[in-house]
Structure 1
Amino acid sequence: MSGESDFLRRLFEAAVDAARPARIVAGHLPAAPAGRVVVVGAGKASAAMAAELERRWPGPLAGLVITRYGHEEPCAGIGIASASHPVPDEAGAAAAARMMELVAGLGPDDLVIALISGGGSALMPLPAPGLTLADKQAVNRALLACGASIDEMNCLRRHLSGIKGGRLAAACHPARVVTLMISDVPGDDPINIASGPTVADPTTLADARAIVAKYGLELSPQVRAALEDPANESVKPGDPRLARAEAHVVAAPLASLEAAAGLARAEGHDPEILGDALEGEARELGRAMGRQALALRAEGRGALLISGGETTVTLPKDGREIGAGGRNVDFLLGLAEVLDGAPGIHAIACDTDGVDGATEVAGAVIGPDTLARAAQAGYPLARALERFDGHGFFEAAGAQVVTGPTRTNVNDFRAILVTA
């Protein structure tokens, strides 16, 4: 591993560490109530958040949170359910139904603590009345393939759900609801973190139908009927059932980027944070940043460009064979294509949850020799671009970043190092 690659990996580790539940949960705990305390939640960080909550809470706790397979953390009283991400499964649907049962019948002296983080939308796929899990799975697959933004995905998900879009908090009424959120979405809007199960939703069924039309999504008659049914409208701002519900974002992408930038400064670099909400097609953003890096080097300027956000990958519909990809490795494919082995430029792109796409790999690093190493291993860049097979390409190049589950999630981390 080169010194530059090691440095970039340490920046990524600093970004992840800043968002670990052990660092951020304790400072946001509510006061104990006169009545019961019920803990609910979902997301890739929810089990770690629950474990930290138990360590900090003055008494016993009970409840249920849902996390991704492999992201579990042992808890004494809070139940941990495991489910599939990014495509939902029966385990998630069953756990979401149990969660709604747990909060039924609470009183005004009771407290619900909701632990919400990225991935929660797929992990608690409670279908709206008249829909099945198969319907939800089909919609999820279509959204993942069409290039829709996270805002658009979550709008549609909220209007096909029996638990998202404020419905979980409404079911807790009249209890007090305090939600602690780890944000993985551009802008940190609580309604888009796990599709906002405990916050009011200003979007409408009409907005959801417009997204379907925009991307030409092929939906079943049952799903189309659900999007026409006023009974499936989400819980709106001002709804009295949410009068005692409050939400707090306790970790966000920008804070993680700043932590990485702080480490870089301590090691003598002058980082520039380009933003924590960069969106668009992953490989096109990579190509744009590649041109920026080349321009800086041509001017004789060193730089460290740090960014976050959530890009999209629109898969082709021409029947070609598709490999194993993800937002971060597709970004790096586009970046590597433009750089074409240019000297003095290294980069990293990883998902802070440790999972890029559906593969148990966080992302990858690239340097001037990456293309040559992959080609020597029999995998030219052009083939990887054609097959959307970033993970296969970087495995061949020996450039993958594998962390295992980090048990947090503040979206993607990217850094490009340009040496003069």
Structure 2
Amino acid sequence: MASGFDDAGARAALHRVFQAALAAADPLTALPAHLPEAPRGRCIVIGVGKAAAKMALAVERAWPDRALSGLIITTHGADVPDPPPGRRIAVRFGSHPVPDAAGAAAAAEMLGLLQGLSAEDLVLFLVSGGGSSLSTLPAVGLSLDDLMAVNRELLRSGAPIQEMNCIRKHLSAFSGGRVAAAAHPARVVTLAISDVPGDDPAVIASGPTVPDPTSFAEARALVAHYGMRLPPAVVRHLEEALEESPEPGDPRLAGAELRMIATPLMALRAMAREAEALGLAPLILGDALEGEAAQLGKVLAGIARSSASHGLPVGRPALILSGGETTVTLPPGASGRGGRSMEGLLGLALALGGLPGVWALMADTDGIDGRSEAAGAIAAPDTLARARAAGLDPRAMLAEHDSYGVFAAIGDLVVTGPTLTNVNDVRAVLVT
């Protein structure tokens, strides 16, 4: 069956495996099993990230009769359904990927909720990708405009997320373990949805409840390495290094727990199970593939070509799976709308050059790839031919970082809307 897929069947199979990834990362099903026992004292629920609203809804549904209070910060425009019997966890909104004043105010409000807690109280912290931007709260002596300028430089730099967050944590009053420190001596339990390579909790949303192993010196070195042009106040703050974020061994964080409820690898394994149900041989290359998006697309094309020609590293019919956060280094003035997934997919399509029998889907599990309304797109053996028939030059558009323009013009976008979860980008290459 699988080896006989036509174009419609191949596309349907790719959509099925992508939906399997989203289902595996759905907080409504993944979160309840990880909830801790009820506290003797108060229960305060706080959270940040693209999945925060759905994670909070899962808590409200799982604990319908428990006294809860708190708030979460999610993205402007997110669909936030009202839980029965009524909302107990307030919802605030912020901006991503560039922070705004609303998110900063909500982060300050959240820290205010943590004042005066006791060891009998529980703070349940819900964290997912995007939280760094949504809860951007400047350290003393810095302004939101300062941090917005920093964020623009970070996005321009092409630095991987771990390095971005090292810098962010040393300019913040919220991240890098500061939330857990503010909640001390209450018990802090973090439920996390990972969107970062390796699932390092110190990197997810810049680790508000976990110790920060990085230093001001490392942040300064990264700024110099990428040649970042930062506001004078930020440069001065990094040089003065007055107060390091809570480090490993800080007694205020000694009792904090972290429970990982969804990860990129969980999503990839769900995709692999769906592939097997479709009669395909799945191969997971890894959940932490990084590098420039278009170059990774070229590498995946080479693997697909080898699979089609030689049966290596997996014989066809196969589904080659991978995850991780690539980068797109933008030159000044770049205006393309495609994000990491679509840029990688166009790189793959160009490298394959119309090779028969190979289709691919690359998408961001949060439903938004780059500055577009699409989660990602699908490439087929005739992608380049159809694009050129529409008067487009795919190679030139890749150079201009406008992969979205290619896939939108030929009707191959994958549009889900915001999924209210986020386990990073997933990639599926179907070799029939």
TM over 0.5: yes
Which of these residues, 286, 289, 307, is aligned with residue 322 of structure 2?
307
Unaligned runs of 5+ in 1: none
Q: CA deviation at 1:396?
A: 0.6
Q: Distance in 1 between matches of 2:387 and 2:91?
A: 41
Farther-moved stretch of structure 1 (256-265 vs 291-300) = 291-300
Task: Name the counterpart of 1:63.
Answer: 70
Q: Distance in 2 between matches of 1:146 and 1:308?
A: 22
Q: CA deviation at 1:291?
A: 1.7
Which of these residues, 59, 82, 88, is aligned with residue 93 of structure 2?
82
Q: Distance in 1 between matches of 2:367 and 2:426?
A: 11
Q: CA deviation at 1:383?
A: 2.6
Residues 121-160 of structure 1: CA deviation (Å, up to 9, x unaligned)? 1100001111111111111111111110010011111111
Q: CA deviation at 1:37?
A: 0.9
Task: Name the counterpart of 2:365.
Answer: 352
Residues 225-260 of structure 1: CA deviation (Å, up to 9, x unaligned)? 111233341110111111221111111110110001
- Check whether the contact 2:14–2:428 (CA below 8 A) recurs between aligned residues: yes
Task: Name the counterpart of 2:3.
Answer: none
Q: CA deviation at 1:60?
A: 2.7
Task: Name the counterpart of 1:266.
Answer: 277
SS in 2 for 1:38: strand
SS in 2 for 1:100: helix
Task: Name the counterpart of 2:45.
Answer: 39
SS in 1 for 2:72: strand
SS in 2 for 1:80: strand
SS in 2 for 1:181: strand
Task: Name the counterpart of 1:243.
Answer: 254
SS in 2 for 1:112: strand
What residue identity is the alignment partner of 1:270? A
Q: CA deviation at 1:296?
A: 2.2
Map residues 106-255 of structure 1 onto 2, 5 A cutoff: 106-255=117-266
What residue identity is the alignment partner of 2:273? G
Q: Does 1:377 align with 2:384?
A: no
Farther-moved stretch of structure 1 (372-381 vs 106-115) = 372-381
Q: Distance in 2 between matches of 1:172 and 1:229?
A: 27
Report the number of matched residues: 417
What residue identity is the alignment partner of 1:316? P
What residue identity is the alignment partner of 1:39? V
Q: TM-score, normalised by structure 1?
A: 0.97
Task: Name the counterpart of 1:101.
Answer: 112
SS in 2 for 1:187: helix
What residue identity is the alignment partner of 1:325? G
Task: Name the counterpart of 1:7.
Answer: 13
Unaligned runs of 5+ in 2: 1-6
Q: Does 1:52 align with 2:65?
A: no
Q: CA deviation at 1:83?
A: 1.1
Q: CA deviation at 1:70?
A: 2.6
Task: Name the counterpart of 1:324.
Answer: 337
Q: CA deviation at 1:403?
A: 0.2
SS in 2 for 1:271: strand
Task: Name the counterpart of 1:21.
Answer: 27
Residues 17-50 of structure 1: CA deviation (Å, up to 9, x unaligned)? 0010111111111111111111111001111000
4+ residue runs over 3 A deviation: none
Q: CA deviation at 1:2?
A: 1.7
* Structure 1 vs Structure 2 CA RMSD: 1.2
Q: TM-score, normalised by structure 2?
A: 0.94
